Structure 1
Amino acid sequence: MNTDEGRKLMRVVQTCSASPSQWDAWTADGQYLYLRYRHGGGCVEWHPGSGDDDDTPDSWNKGRSGLLVEWDDGTGSGAISLEDFLATAGLALAPGASVS
């Protein structure tokens, strides 16, 4: 994953707003990321992108996935704004990014 482009998100879809807060996201270079925040802990995982016939949680355990970053802020909270999550994770929205 290109380091600069891999940190810029072109599309973000919130899949849960609290307990946990989580999003599906795609980087400017097409990498799929899973963003999750629960009990004060955040993580960003990379996985095979959607549209792949072998793009299932089972395939994620075949060495095609990994952990990009994780942290614990000590709050025990289950909710975080996308902006705060991205800032803590070292990610950013690319110009013209789609957020839903």
Structure 2
Amino acid sequence: MITLVRVVETCRACPAQWDAWDTEGRYYYLRYRFGQGTVDTYANPDPETWDGVEGGVAQFADPDEPMRGTIELTEFLHRAALRLAPDAEVVAYAPTS
């Protein structure tokens, strides 16, 4: 199971999405939109300079709720089979003006 040590919420809804890093420094893009959750990983851990998708790590769907665009991080992680480290840094969405 992948253990995340840092998670930064980048959007609250439509899509709900997070940037995340694991214990090895690998970057993950977590996204939930239209009732579908996906986790992708990238070769470069800096989301500002992605080198391209390395691969899909996990996905799940809510076919009975195709317009759903919100999900709490805890539910997302559970459904994607990811976990937070006990001392993980979790940063809530903070829009810039």
Unaligned runs of 5+ in 2: 92-97
Q: CA deviation at 1:72?
A: 1.1
Aligned twin of 1:87? 78
Report the Cα distance in structure 2 between the residues aligned to 1:81 and 1:95, rounded to whole angstroms: 18
Measured at CA, do residues 29 and 37 of structure 1 come closer, stay the same or move farther in structure 2, by a change above 3 Å? same
Counterpart amino acid of 2:58?
A: V
Which amino acid is 1:97 matched to? A
Q: How does 1:12-91 map to 2 (within 5 A)?
A: 12-47=7-42, 48-50=44-46, 55-56=49-50, 59-60=51-52, 65-74=54-63, 75-76=65-66, 77-91=68-82
> Normalising by structure 1, what TM-score?
0.82
SS in 2 for 1:11: strand
> Root-mean-square deviation (CA), in Å?
1.7
Q: What's the CA shift for 1:71?
A: 1.6
What is the rounded CA distance, in whole Å, between the counterparts of 1:51 and 1:39 in structure 2?
23
SS of corresponding position for 2:24: coil
Aligned residues: 88
Please state which structure has a larger fraction of its residues in strand: 2
Residue 94 of structure 2 is matched in structure 1 by none
Identity of aligned residues (%): 42
- Structure 1 residue runs of 5 or longer lacking an equivalent are none
